[in-house]
């Protein structure tokens, strides 16, 4: 079968294809963290901007610091894209229905070891935006404080080799430094990761890095560069071989770079840019808005969606469920997740103009979408980086306002059980987390005492604040929840929980 390319695109059976305005555009964006989510979200939206309004907003994607999805390593995706003339398909699926859109917004895909070429783009005056989806751990920070981890090996390397950076933060500072020295207007660093006040987090780690490198540069960045906050929302599972086969069959040409996603899409962006930007909010795609305050939207998404998604991941995986939709077919899980939303999370969320009841109804529907085989194991990755914003902030709010937190504590206990590295049948769990070694050590040394386990986990100040770790109510509930999980298993414990509330 022919491979998707500029030569075969006319044969592709897609509802939407690139046009002349996209094909003739120049580069205006560099994106760090060129994964499936970016391809199904920001790249697709930027593609529509050029298709409908023109503009030089082609994207150079940098595939950096993470395994490249279905390729199973940090190599391969660049050559796959090159062989397809950087075209790929976004498949939007709802249960048995799938619609296809071919994206032409990508100019080139690079790997992060192509430093000179990447920095060449990032220091070009034509590049106005550098966006990021590098996951929480890509910020090389302490989640509990927000500050840069100066002991991180990537950061240590970059501070001594700023012209040959390895980290996203190093790339940003290196490019900003060069642009400043050459009188080139700064680009806007635009983070699209699931972090509360993500723009503020990015600014903090960039300033921390620059302060170590050159205090004067840090002061200049603080005074001259905006770091907008943003909230992104779309469920994008890791692409599987089955997905590729299904999409290829429908498309009529081979596409090894395709992604599958859901119909829902949302992007809320703080309107603070240093330079020009695409008119993202002016496309035919709904739910894209510029605002002065992203934080309420961030809290809604991080707590209601990401918090319940992680709850499904840890409890679902321990219960033997492979995907989110499979987990949500269990009526006890569906009831438990809605309970979390209604009773424990919603009191901490308030967004003007948003119908929270309708939003929660929509979340439940999205979780049940069988077109997305979103693996619980995938969502469970990097929990140490995710817990503070997905669970712990809501738990702290509940403790301060006398709101029940038992379900959220139950989910934290499930995370603790998951990172033991052994499931309820005695099988090994492949725990992907920067602290996986530490977790294994804690379980090895303290597995005979739940109280000791909880004490050791709460002492991890990179995850738990001192105030929360010392809270007697939280600690007692966590010990009780972990005891129940160990004694009864996750599936039965969820059933018991629902029967008790």
Which residues, other chains included, contact 249 with Cβ-Cβ below 8 Å and sequence gap of 6+? Answer: none
Question: Is 46 among the domain residues?
Answer: yes
CA 113 vs CA 167, 176, 346: distances in Å: 10, 19, 44
Residues 401, 357 within the same domain: yes
- Residue 68: what pLDDT? 32
Q: Which contiguous run of DSSP H or E holds residue 27?
A: strand 27-32
Residues 287, 304 within the same domain: no
CATH of the domain at 175: 3.40.50.720
Q: Which residues face 289 on adjacent strands?
A: 268
Task: Tell me which of 273, 291, 309 is where a domain ends.
Answer: 291
Residues 402, 437 within the same domain: yes
Over residues 253-262, mean pLDDT: 97
pTM of the entire structure?
A: 0.90
Strand order in the sheet with 259-261: 97-103, 88-94, 259-261
Question: Three-class SS string for 300-352?
Answer: HHHHHHHHHHHHHHHHHHHCCCCEHHHHHCCHHHHHHHHHHHHHHHHHHCCCC
pLDDT digits (tens, 9 = 90+) for 281-336: 999 999 999 999 999 999 999 999 999 999 999 999 999 999 999 999 999 999 99
Supply the range of the domain harboring residue 189.
9-291
Q: Where are the alpha helices (DSSP H) in 214-288?
A: 215-224, 241-251
Residues 451, 309 within the same domain: yes
Tell me if residue 8 falls in helix, strand or coil: coil
Task: Tell me which of 291, 323, 345 is where a domain ends.
Answer: 291
* Whole-number average pLDDT of the chain: 95
**How confident is residue 342, by pLDDT bands cut at 50, 70 and 90?**
very high
Question: Is 184 among the domain residues?
Answer: yes
CATH of the domain at 483: 1.10.1040.10
Over residues 220-238, mean pLDDT: 97
Residues 178, 274 within the same domain: yes
CA 20 vs CA 17, 426, 490: distances in Å: 10, 57, 54
Question: Is 234 among the domain residues?
Answer: yes
Residues 131, 89 within the same domain: yes
Residues 336, 352 within the same domain: yes
Over residues 349-357, mean pLDDT: 91
Residues 312, 282 within the same domain: no
Total domain count for the chain?
2
Question: What is the spatial distance between Cα 204 and Cα 196, in angstroms, rounded to a whole number?
Answer: 13
Question: Is 3 among the domain residues?
Answer: no
Task: Tell me which of 276, 291, 306 is where a domain ends.
Answer: 291
Checking if the pLDDT of 63 tops 60, the result is: yes
Residues 225, 78 within the same domain: yes
pLDDT digits (tens, 9 = 90+) for 469-500: 999 999 999 999 999 999 999 999 999 999 99
Residues 277, 304 within the same domain: no
Over residues 112-119, mean pLDDT: 94
- Residue 352: what pLDDT? 87
Residues 284, 332 within the same domain: no
411-415-417-423 Cα dihedral, nearest 10 degrees? 100
């Amino acid at each position: 079968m022919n491979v998707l390319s500029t030569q075969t695109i006319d044969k592709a059976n897609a509802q939407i294809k690139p046009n002349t305005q996209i094909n003739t555009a120049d580069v205006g964006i560099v994106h760090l963290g060129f994964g499936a989510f970016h391809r199904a979200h920001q790249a697709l939206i930027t593609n529509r901007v050029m298709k409908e309004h023109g503009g030089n907003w082609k994207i150079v994607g940098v595939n950096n610091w993470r395994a490249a999805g279905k390729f199973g390593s940090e190599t391969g995706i660049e050559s796959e894209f090159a062989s397809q003339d950087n075209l790929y398909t976004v498949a939007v699926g709802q249960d048995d229905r799938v619609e296809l859109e071919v994206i032409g917004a990508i100019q080139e895909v690079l790997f992060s070891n192509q430093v000179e070429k990447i920095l060449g783009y990032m220091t070009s005056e034509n590049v106005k935006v550098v966006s990021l989806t590098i996951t929480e751990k890509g910020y090389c920070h302490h989640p509990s404080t927000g500050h840069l981890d100066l002991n991180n090996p990537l950061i240590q390397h970059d501070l001594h080799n700023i012209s040959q950076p390895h980290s996203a933060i190093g790339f940003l500072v290196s490019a900003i430094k060069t642009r400043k020295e050459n009188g080139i207007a700064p680009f806007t660093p635009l983070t699209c990761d699931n972090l509360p006040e993500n723009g503020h987090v990015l600014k903090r780690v960039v300033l921390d890095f620059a302060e170590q490198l050159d205090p004067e540069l840090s002061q200049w960045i603080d005074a001259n560069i905006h770091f907008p906050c943003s909230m992104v929302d779309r469920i994008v599972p890791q692409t599987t071989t089955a997905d590729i086969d299904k999409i290829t069959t429908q498309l009529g040409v081979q596409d090894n770079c395709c992604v599958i996603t859901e119909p829902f899409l949302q992007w809320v962006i703080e309107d603070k840019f240093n330079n020009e930007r695409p008119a993202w909010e002016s496309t035919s795609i709904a739910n894209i808005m510029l605002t002065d305050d992203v934080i309420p939207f961030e809290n809604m998404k991080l707590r209601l969606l990401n918090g319940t998604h992680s709850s499904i991941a840890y409890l679902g995986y321990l219960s033997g469920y492979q995907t989110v939709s499979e987990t949500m077919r269990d009526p006890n899980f569906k009831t438990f997740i809605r309970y979390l939303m209604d009773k424990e999370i919603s009191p901490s969320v308030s967004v003007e103009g948003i119908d929270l009841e309708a939003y929660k109804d929509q979340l439940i529907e999205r979780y049940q979408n069988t077109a997305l085989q979103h693996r619980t194991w995938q969502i469970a990755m990097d929990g140490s980086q995710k817990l503070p914003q997905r669970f712990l902030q809501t738990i702290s709010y509940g403790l301060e306002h006398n709101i029940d937190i038992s379900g959220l504590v139950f989910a934290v206990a499930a995370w603790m059980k998951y990172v033991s590295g052994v499931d309820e049948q005695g099988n090994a769990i492949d725990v992907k987390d920067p602290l996986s070694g530490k977790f294994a050590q804690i379980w090895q040394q303290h597995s005979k005492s739940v109280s000791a386990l909880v004490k050791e986990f709460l002492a991890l100040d990179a995850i738990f604040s001192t105030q929360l770790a010392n809270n007697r109510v939280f600690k007692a509930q966590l010990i009780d929840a972990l005891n129940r999980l160990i004694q009864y298993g996750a599936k039965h414990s969820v059933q018991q929980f629902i029967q008790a509330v």
